[in-house]
Chain A
Amino acid sequence: MLPLLAIALAQQGPLPPIPQPPRLRTILPNGATILVIRRPGAQAVWVRLLLAARGGEDTPATHGRRHLLEHLVAVGTDGTLDRRLETEGAILRAQTLRDATEIAVDAPANKLDLALSAIGEMLRLRPLKTEDVAREAGILRQEAALQEIPTRLSSAAWRVAYGDKGLDPFGDLTAIRAATPAAIAALHQTLTAGPNLVLVVSGDVDLDKATAKATAILRAAPKIERPWTTRGEAKPGRDDSVQGYSEARALPVPAYDDVRTVAALAAALAYASEVPGTFVAYTPSGRPGMVVVGRSGESEGLGTYIDRADPASLYERAQLLVRRWLRRQMDDPGSDASLRGLLLAQSTGYSPDAMQEAIDKMTFSDFKAAFDAFRGDRAITVTGS
């Protein structure tokens, strides 16, 4: 029987290649995570390095040190990284969030090696001098002056809810100025330990080859396990001291995949669809987080609307809006890579699919409960003038 099968196979000619799945996640022995996403036909490649904040979370004494590190590391090892990338049509951006620092490189489709090489430089901090830190602290002082009102509102809401466990990722200028080169180097070592590293590659790439290239970048990182600090129970309250005419209502929420979280996000998006000029801020997190709905330029009216709004009349729209909110992030290849990387940086089991499932499960009763919470004694009110 076997020879017959062999003849039959030979007559069929070469077997067609086995189609690759859309994504491949790999966890290295040192705890680092690699996710490669196939996007056939993509004109660009999107590479994201996430450094989880685990073990290096901000405290009042170190508040802003991760942000300072982000500035210092993002220029590369010799200060010419941006020039090298831009010459090839690639750009590098970096941002610090509460749960992770993200380095993002967008490059032409045929420049994956260049993008990965740039990411590799993020794992090697150049020797720092005191004046390097002082100069960058000066830049952060300049950055502080340009902080936008939604950021200020959101930071104030987090401070009310979580106190020192919810410090904003921007930082405190006094604490930033107090950082030493040795402290920055130690933080870099903590944040680049294997279990804190996630590398996402998205583009028209071969899953196995891209995974092998990413592995070569991350495999030397040491395996040092550190726990997350707990964020604690959120407290309600208000803050009327934000600079600039503005108002926000915020609701502390559990993890991103909890139906109460997506219901709160749906409610916020529904409010925003009714009140012109309103923004909604939510960063998906496996830890306790915050949904903020607010607006700048006006310091009254939004709260009144929220207190009087009818959930039944907004439910259908809210369902659509929250689905679109997630879909918009996942449809854009760069945003999708960032979101997946951010979630993986918190746990290798996290993915946006779990948020989608929570959205699918949301009932009117969940939505109404979120509505009630936004106007109840768990909510946080922030205003500015």
Chain B
Amino acid sequence: MTPTLLETLTPGAPDVSIAVFAPLPKPFGEKDRQKLAVAVRTLSEGSQEYPRRTAWRMTDGRTIDASLLPDGVAIRFAVPKENLANGIALVEGLLRRPLVPQEDLDRNLVAIQRREPGYWAAALRPLSNDLKSLKQEEARALLRRVFDPKRVVVAVGGDFDAGKPTEFWANRTEDWKPDPGPRYPDITPTPEPSENPAGVTTVELRGPAFAAADPTLAPKWLALVALGVGKGSALFEKVRQVEGWSYRQEAILWPDPAGLVPRLVAATVSDEDESGRAEALRKTLQTAVDAWTEADRARAIGLAAASLERGLPLGPLWLVDGPPGVYDRSLLDAYWWSKAGVRWDPNRLAAALRNVTLDELKSTAAALLAGAKPIVLPGR
């Protein structure tokens, strides 16, 4: 069967960007998550027919970027537009016949014992890994299961003849059969972290997940911007500028197998008793929400529209390593199709944000705060 491929025409673009989102199968346990974290890091080594140095020629020197998100695997790379067919061949090879060198598995096994690269990334995703070994065959089998043609979505953006990527893709994938998967898949639960390996304490209010296709996405999106995106947000103004206990604090829509999770997170140094900080944060933010005026709504709309319409990487949506920017359009297309069943349409969302009233904004923000779980993870 031929998996979904989305085309986005961008006349004049010198490069073609190719992105994949493969949602995790269900169920998917913690042991498999750790194995997949190691296996995904080897995807930059290319496919069995196009190893890294060959792929490097196809991409004109650009690297293949592959990441394990909480809800799936994301792959991104670009090729010069004249290499469109090569790019399609490369992505098909990566998904069906990844190279997965054993020496890279061994090296990445060591690397993931440490922490996510980047303090903020590690603070947001305080995972611990204790996987001891992973053989090539097992890693390849796991990738085959994740890269299921029924679920995987590929997006191609650039200056090409409409229909060409679809034609190349169909020719290469019509014989692709879904992997039956294991009879008894891993269902080991992921343990709740009790501390933060990034060394900083995170103080968080975390809401329940909601679907990307949720009809109330627009007020929720705008409420998160008003609460914690930009330097005019409640989080920045209260937590950083007034209370002064955090340098970095953000409202985030976090990718999750159950949908999107609203998170209000502030990082702070780990030398004080922080246990009451999350409830205090809830109170501070609720007071700010109560005092919001049309000026707060206008700021949130101005910033959110700038992000959506001009591609500024500002959030709240978080994908691979932060809010997606103008160069992540193909990944957003693939991701949103997988999560919501429709293409990513920033202009439509921006228009919907403009229709959110102040009352709706305040009540949505208040509900997000009231329903959020307080979490404090001390740094170690």
Contact = CB atoms under 8 A, between A and B. Distances in A.
Interface of A: 43-44, 75, 79, 82-83, 86-92, 106, 108, 135, 138-143, 145-149, 245, 273, 276-277, 296-298, 301, 317, 320-321, 324
B120 A146 contact: yes
Given A297-B111, A298-B111, A139 B306 contact: no
Interface centre among B104, B199, B269, B306 (most CB of A within 10 A): B306
Contacts of A273: 56, 61, 63
B114 A245 contact: yes
Interface string B49-76: 0000000100011010000000000000
Contacts, number: 103
11 contacts: A87-B299, A87-B302, A139-B244, A141-B269, A142-B248, A142-B267, A146-B267, A149-B117, A273-B63, A276-B104, A297-B117
Interface in B300-348: 302-303, 305-306, 310, 312, 314
Given A87-B299, A108-B310, A139-B240, A320 B60 contact: yes
Nearest to B121: A148
A107 to B, nearest CB: 9
Interface of B: 41, 44-45, 56, 60-61, 63, 104, 107, 110-111, 114-115, 117-120, 123, 199-200, 230-232, 236, 240-241, 244-248, 267-270, 295, 298-299, 302-303, 305-306, 310, 312, 314
Contacts of A321: 61
B61 A298 contact: no
Contacts of B298: 87
Contacts of A141: 269
Given A106-B312, A142-B269, A149-B117, A89 B244 contact: no
Nearest to A140: B247
A321 B306 CA distance: 32
Nearest to B120: A146
A292 to B, nearest CB: 16
A91 B312 contact: yes
A146 B200 contact: yes
Nearest to B245: A142
A245 B275 CA distance: 29
Contacts of A324: 61
Given A89-B310, A145-B119, A149-B117, A276 B295 contact: no
Contact of B310 (A43, A276, A301): A43
Given A141-B269, A146-B248, A297-B117, A79 B241 contact: yes
B249 to A, nearest CB: 10
Contacts of A135: 244
A315 to B, nearest CB: 13
A142 B236 CA distance: 14
A232 to B, nearest CB: 32
B267 A87 contact: no
Contacts of B305: 89
A343 to B, nearest CB: 25
A147 B248 CA distance: 11
B61 A91 contact: no
B312 A146 contact: no
A145 B199 contact: yes
A90 B306 contact: yes
A145 B306 contact: no
Given A83-B295, A142-B247, A317 B61 contact: yes
Contact of B230 (A82, A140, A296): A82
A219 to B, nearest CB: 29
Contacts of B230: 82, 86, 91
Contacts of B231: 82-83, 86, 92
A247 to B, nearest CB: 12
Nearest to A109: B310
A142 B61 contact: no
